[in-house]
Amino acid sequence: MAGTTEAPYVRGVYAIARADPDRVAVVCGGTRTTFGELDRLSNSVAHAVAPYVREPGDRVAVMLNNSMEGFCAWHGVARLGALVVPVSTRLTAPEAAYILGDSGSVLLVHEGSPVAPAAAAEAGVPALEISEAISGGGEDEPPSGDWVATPVTAMQYTSGTTGRPKGILRPPPRPAAEAPPSPFATFWGFGPADVHLMCGPMYHTAPSAYSLMSMTEGGTVVVMPRWDATEALALIQQERVTTSQMVPANFIRILEADWRACDLSSVRKILHAAAPCPVDVKRRIMEVFPPGTVWEYYGASEGIATAISPEEWTTKPGSVGRPFPGISLRIVGENAEELPAGEVGEVYVSMVGSHRFEYHNAPDKTARAWRGDHFTVGDLGYLDSDGYLFLVDRRMDLIISGGVNIYPAEVEAALVEDPEVVDAAVIGLPDERMGHRVHALVELRPGAAADAEALVERTRARLADFKLPRTVEFVDTLPREPNGKIMKVKLREERIAQPPPGS
């Protein structure tokens, strides 16, 4: 599964801006920004932020939507040796204020929404609008030459589905005059000829990481301010997109769009992760893009774990692959024992280069995540006899009905195979007799009949009786996080709070 090897070339925004300043770095909303322009605007941000950064490793929060200015902010912060703390623009002021305070951010860079200054005031952190930071039109050189090629380093906060979000703290960045090589770019074969489509929120780990990775290699990044399947297909055709990072929710919408009318022949690699991809959805999306282009990987904000090529996946449908180079996996049981092939347990992953992370201000959560040199984010899965990993679900989503484990992802995959179903989410709701009952929320195709009994009956051929939904609820659209994950905690809490029928 090794990526292609390219001849040496100039890497990093700073170096490319001097070697080839007119090369296009960012395409967004019809505007094309060159590497020379991006470099100057990033320097301008660095100068504007410098008075707030006392020392390398300080944290600067960035609360921006997908935009060219977002890249200027991230690169500007990196040119001071500081860490970027991405803050979702969907958060309320108190939620954002928590991240500002917990991270110890010295500044909040934002785009002028009323939430951002309110959050900054609540956290006691100064705020700076990005328009002010770049108002000078750019600077030829950054405040310091020490960090010109230091990669952007982010202190990401997890989604917080089990409580307050956790900040993932890594070693501080190091000064660099030349951009260090990226094993991930090498593995995926990213290079200067690539055109990368960023279709997820920049404040999430994967969309920003892969876009920054492509840009560092000299590729052009096409930015979608917001996701729309028809627009994504049009941009792939118009800009001759070669790579992108997507999630199964993107696939589901692309399959509903008129993808056959678009020329997608430029695509050479579509990476996907973030949520389980139903086998039927994966098979169909592999027919949309050119043969051999849809690759899957498994990981979390904490670190990558596995990867699988399309050729491997056809022989191991449903697998998320074998360990990424330099990484090892363990499946651990309830009594901390390592489980053999075929047995379901908690997935533990080592880090590339034996690097470790910790959860900021949460030593207890850090201790629970690590077991020796391996960490877990609570996913359940098993390894087959060939060492391929199959995920079954997250421990927090596990349904136990009548003492039997039921994995929602398996039920969801069976429902999505139904020709009348677009999307589905399965949760466990309290049941006095069984402990939990399987409850399905289903989004139907236009014109399909909302007949729960018929749907369950059609699903019976794909699932054992005890796994079948006991109740079905039809919805217009399932709520998803910007990273593609269904908001199951919200769905579960809302339905538990509802009074029983007939009460």
Q: Average pLDDT per run of 10 along the chain, which is 503 residues long? A: 54 97 96 98 97 96 97 98 95 92 98 95 97 91 95 86 77 91 95 97 94 98 96 98 94 94 98 87 96 96 95 96 95 94 95 86 93 92 96 81 80 92 92 84 94 94 89 93 81 80 43
**Structure tokens that stand for 95 in this block:** 């939620």
Q: Which value, to the nearest 10 degrees, does the dihedral of the CA atoms of residues 411, 417, 422, 424 take?
A: 0
Residues 305 and 349: beta-carbon distance below 8 Å: yes
Same fold, 319-397 and 398-497: no
Helix (H) or strand (E) holding 437: strand 435-444
Q: Which CATH architecture has domain 319-397?
A: Roll (2.30)
d(CA 259, CA 336): 47
Pairing of strands 379-383, 358-359: unpaired
The CA-based angle 301-412-198, given to 5 degrees, is 40
The domain ranges of the chain are: 24-318, 319-397, 398-497
- Residue given tokens 């201000």 in the structure block: 361
Of 214, 203, 210, 284, residue with least CA distance to 245:
210
DSSP one-letter code for 219:
-
d(CA 2, CA 309): 10
**For residue 76, what are the CA distances in angstroms to 14, 147, 244, 448?**
11, 10, 24, 51
**Structure tokens that stand for 325 in this block:** 């180079």
d(CA 475, CA 450): 10
Pick the CATH number of 24-318 from 3.40.710.10, 3.40.50.12780, 3.10.310.70, 3.30.310.10: 3.40.50.12780
Of 488, 447, 444, residue with least CA distance to 252:
444
- Residue given tokens 């039921």 in the structure block: 406
Q: What's the pTM?
A: 0.85
| One-letter identity of residue 304 | I
Q: What is the CA radius of gyration of the chain?
A: 23
Q: Which residues pair with 421 in a beta bridge?
A: 444
Angle in degrees, 0-180, between the axes of helices 452-459 and 408-416, rounded to the nearest 10: 100
Of 492, 497, 392, 498, residue with least CA distance to 437:
492
**Structure tokens that stand for 177 in this block:** 């005059």
Helix (H) or strand (E) holding 425: strand 421-431
Helix (H) or strand (E) holding 75: helix 68-78
Q: Which CATH architecture has domain 398-497?
A: 2-Layer Sandwich (3.30)
d(CA 407, CA 299): 19
d(CA 330, CA 149): 36
Structure confidence at residue 159 (pLDDT)? 63
**Structure tokens that stand for 287 in this block:** 């027919």
Angle in degrees, 0-180, between the axes of helices 68-78 and 205-216, rounded to the nearest 10: 80
Q: Which residues pair with 394 in a beta bridge?
A: 379
The three-class DSSP label of residue 422 is strand
**For residue 31, what are the CA distances in angstroms to 8, 221, 479?**
30, 12, 31
